[in-house]
Amino acid sequence: MKKSVQMVFLDAQTVGDVDNLSDLSSLGDYSSYDLTAPADRISRIRGHNVVITNKVVIDRDVMDGCPELELIAVVATGMNNVDLDYAAQKGISVRNVAGYSTESVTQCTFAMLFYLQNACRYYDDYVRSGQYAVSPIFTHLGREFWELSGKTFGVIGMGTIGKRVAQVACAFGANVVYYSTSGKNLDAAGYPHLPLTELLHLADVVSIHCPLNDQTRNLIGKAELERMKPTAYLLNMGRGGIVDEAALAWAIDENRIAGAGLDVLSKEPIAAENPLLKVRCREKLFITPHIAWASVEARRLLISRTAENIKNHFGLV
């Protein structure tokens, strides 16, 4: 006889109003909360054998307080919110979802780049201000922009997403080089691997797609930004903490780089005192609120693969 599945989703708000949540609810007894405070974790999980979480921390206190728990289903790739060692000791399975957001992050990478590189904010503001309506000529050349074709596109972190970004950059005619932060991806589809200092010196675009760990924390600081071309763009689609935000604010306002786009920050939501909120050259900085992963298709895939993880654990057809 198959075991009944008692599931609780602790932070359903983090995946939004995705239209296939029934993939989860159809598997058994399902309940969900928009968000869960640390003090409410045990009371909400107790009595369930599956907890579904995106960012809610599942530590040893939670596991000890919820004896029925046998599966932690993480609706994300990163599992740093789960004490993996203690889960293994307790015999609690932990399953995540990898590879669901590759196309979404890749698309957002180039959306961010072209918004900056093509001076989209400036030109949109120019038209909306009414200045174009009284222009004596058909065009306005207030900001220069360059084609990506023929430029050097540097990828930091040549994992699944980094490889896809490299493919798209090549489709635009860019010359891709990369730096592997782990040293494991040194045979990445024929692209030249460079030391970080050389990549920063040569690249017209530096696009970050690596995880945050001891090797990558503050990987890009003031010294690294000073190595970049003044015409180069920096994109961070990996994790906050890889880029020193105070150093980046300095580099933007001192015109040491052409611009920067960030989807991730050292503290999320952004801290009110973050120096990036105080840069003078606002049109050179584009920040989005950690949404690159979250296309409709990516969130659907995230839910469907989470459901598959639960099915596989319980042997459900």
- Give residue-wise pLDDT tens across range 123-146: 999 999 999 999 999 999 999 999
Radius of gyration, CA atoms only, the chain:
22
CA atoms within 13 A on the CB side of 301: 15
Burial of 70 (0-12, 13-18, 19+ CB in 10 A): middle
For the chain, list the strands marked E by DSSP. Answer: 6-9, 29-32, 50-53, 71-74, 93-95, 152-156, 175-179, 205-208, 233-236, 259-262, 285-287
Look at domain 6-100+296-314 and name its CATH class.
Answer: alpha beta
Nearest-CA neighbor of 76 among 235, 240, 294? 294
The pLDDT value recorded for residue 1 is 44
Q: Which residues belong to the active site? A: 239, 268, 290
**Homologous superfamily assigned to 102-287:** NAD(P)-binding Rossmann-like Domain (3.40.50.720)
Domain ranges of the chain: 6-100+296-314, 102-287
How far apart CA 189 and CA 84 sit, in angstroms, is 33
Other C-beta atoms lying within 10 Å of the C-beta of residue 169: 25
How far apart CA 270 and CA 43 sit, in angstroms, is 30
The pLDDT value recorded for residue 186 is 75
- Give residue-wise pLDDT tens across range 180-217: 998 876 766 689 999 999 999 999 999 999 999 999 99
Q: pTM of this prediction?
A: 0.94
Other C-beta atoms lying within 10 Å of the C-beta of residue 223: 11
Alpha carbon 9 to chain centroid, angstroms: 22
How far apart CA 236 and CA 218 sit, in angstroms, is 12
What parts of the chain have a pLDDT lower than 70? 1-2, 185, 187-189
